[in-house]
A = this chain, B = another copy of it.
């Protein structure tokens, strides 16, 4: 069967549901972009009679973190969800580095997407092969020559399986007769590019696999294996606390993993990788296998869509704070295919002033301001971040400070220029959300909850006041709550950074890691499988059969 192209599928879906009027986009970490359209209008059946019971249609593209948590949360029988994805399963991506070395089996981290939705929401699934076209371009190769052809990526379950068999294969090849020591060393030289959590976790998993399991079966290989980690920045794990970075770098050095900081890859061929240090020094190293782990590129299907809607010069779809794609009605985008374009306070400052100045007096009293304050904080989360960074307790502190600076400390009212000067620094706190599964999952849950309460909130909007319009927004904007992050470092040691800058490194956080990852599994089946895989690994070690 000829695979459908993306747009063929889309038009097919339209054809099957001719009364569709609303569209949403969702995208997920390592899951492919996805579009959701929903039909909210009452539609007409063949005989022209209005059928009120017709369900609202939602089309969801992709089955990654955002899509899966959307499906898991959506709990309103008035929707009918059509899922389109190249994969009929959700993959628990944080365990992919474990899959590369067989600590956890591939099948233990996947769950059929048909099992994830709730019973009372009608769901159907279409497998769209089009997404598979050139999956390699998903990773961000910075157009460095030779990367796409010679490197492994680590985004999908298949990548992890391929890496696993390539690692075993390297050991088998290096055991063949008729090779000199140099060739064997080259084959057993594993290079990891990128010192983010995924690259670091892969390097430490590989180190454990080699030292705990493979050396027993390939005793001669022990002194030939080398793991090198190349990082362009000055440190690995830069998104973590400095203590974690230092601990990780020291542990890797102790473990014999060669961490080359400030090393930018410039070229890769089939046997050698060339890097440049910050000082401009070039070096070329022979390698056996490279795993490329430096952030996420844009999927072709999202690129195409971005061109269509005039966002062609961006890296990801721009959405508003409610995850709606800018310029598109009823298209929502989530996860790593999208970035939220947080509205700036200074762009809206005149409208804010006008909204707050109910009496239209040209000046704001503190009372007037306090009335809209919570709405402003809801609408512009950067305000609170800024207050927090300054150690202030409320927005009035900020206004008072601004008045003091302007020398008008006696006044209890402020004009628009004073408001501007008070808030001029606030927008510096606007931050892009990281492209992690945690963000995508929270977005999926948020959107599903909005959909669930769509009718209720249409009547009783619960969002902040519309600054440039009348009434209120239906929903509160999406707000990300960072729950912490783990960096497994091998040897049963994990670094954990929890909210409030609580840092923990060692065996205790490894156990925290085990329990968090077990509890986050989407189904009891995968939970049992993952835990039994860990137990199996403790008892029998990792399997090294090349299948």
Contact = CB atoms under 8 A, between A and B. Distances in A.
B127 A172 contact: yes
Contact of A525 (B168, B525, B543, B546): B543
**Number of copies of this kind of chain in the complex:** 2
A525 B547 contact: no
A89 interface: yes
A80 interface: no
Nearest to A87: B546
A313 interface: no
A107 to B, nearest CB: 6
B115 A217 contact: yes
Q: Tell which of A172, A173, A540, A545 has the most Cβ of chain B within 10 Å.
A: A545
A365 interface: no
A112 B173 CA distance: 15
A178 interface: yes
B16 A544 contact: no
A1 interface: yes
Interface size class of chain A, counting residues whose CB lies under 8 Å from the partner chain: 35 or more
Contacts of A89: 545-547
B126 A175 contact: yes
A127 to B, nearest CB: 4
Interface stretch (A224-232, A387-395, A528-536): A528-536
Interface string A84-110: 000111000000000000100111001
Interface of A: 1, 4, 12-13, 15-16, 87-89, 102, 105-107, 110-112, 114-115, 124-127, 157-158, 161, 168-169, 172-173, 175-178, 217-218, 524-525, 528-529, 532, 536, 539-540, 543-547
11 contacts: A4-B176, A87-B545, A88-B546, A105-B105, A112-B545, A114-B544, A127-B169, A127-B546, A525-B539, A528-B540, A529-B536
